[in-house]
Amino acid sequence: MARMLAIHGLLMKERYPNCSGIATELEVSAKTIQRDIDFMRDQLALPIAYHSVRHGFYYTDPVRQFPTVQVSDGELVALLIAQKAVEQYRGTAFEKPLHSAFTKLADGLQGSSGIAIHELVEAISFRPQGLAEAELDTFQVLASATLHQHEITFAYQALHREVSEPRRVQPYHLGCLANQWYLIARDLDRDAMRTFALTRLSEARDTGRLFEKPNDFSVAEMFDGSFSAFQSGVIEQVVIRLDPFASRLAAERTWHASQKQSVGPDGSSILTLDVTIAPDLENWILGWGSHAEVIAPISLREKIALTIKSMHAIYCQFNPPNS
């Protein structure tokens, strides 16, 4: 690749380089250079020809950039969506390295019909919401330790704790769930799998101690019954009645792989989910307001009812300030 980029640079300067001259400059054989040029012409579709009078190679048509990767228009659109997703980290420690990495990748791409990324920017947008800022240094320590299977230590403040506690874990996986990064790891002191939110994690340190991740570990199986990022209890069938308004909205998205929706004559529906009962599920249900009603299990219905009762008490006590 380095040789071909060097050859590309000579061709762009219209110096009509030949195999022997390039071979001398790059300290390789002339046959190696000829193979490189053949690859550039035949595999990368670069318009290279040999000039019999100038005794060297040249581009017969303008070349905007070196096509390190060939992509279709559909893949180019997908890449743009990824770039828009990257924008959610604007203003955080991730912004600079992500922008640099994406720019390097995009500069080497060439759409099959010549569509450039900047031509699609106005056509597609991505607006993230509720994103949390994470420290790049912490993320890099966790990512490196996960890749190389090194034990790590860090301080962690659980939601139900007032102060941080030391943790010693074997990192298995880093995942972004609902726009927030989580570390999935085996807590060595508790001898159990745990999910840690990076926003509540600090003082991460790679101990350098190697561990072996079990061959049967599967992120998909681990979160099979989870509605989002929480793991709790056993999988239960959750049944929710949705009014016509919520029914239409719910049908437009896949909230969980297990979801099934049965629509009635009046437009209302019954939505079933096979999930574990956890705070993220409860918050999602409450987000529908009066448009949703939990039918089963009874324990979840009672929990939602209790939350609504507490909210009612809070709002009934509210006294707006004098204008």
Q: For residue 144, give the 3-state DSSP assignment.
A: helix
pLDDT grade for 260, boundaries at 50, 70 and 90 = very high
Phi, psi of 293 (to 5 degrees): -140, 125
Cα–Cα distances in angstroms (integers) from residue 133 to residues 14, 126, 175, 209, in the given order: 48, 18, 15, 29
Convert the pLDDT of each residue in 230-258 to its tens digit: 665 688 999 999 999 999 999 998 888 88
| CATH tag for 235-315 (out of 3.40.50, 1.10.3470, 3.30.70, 3.30.2420) | 3.30.70
Q: Check residues 184 and 177 and name the one with the higher pLDDT.
A: 184
pTM: 0.57
pLDDT for residue 122: 53
**In this model, does residue 200 exceed pLDDT 70?**
yes
The pLDDT of residue 130 is 53
Residue 34 makes CB contacts below 8 A (sequence gap 6+) with 19
Which fold, 2-59?
A: Arc Repressor Mutant, subunit A (1.10.10)
Domain positions in the chain are 2-59, 69-119, 136-222, 235-315
Q: Which residue has the higher pLDDT, 88 or 17?
A: 17
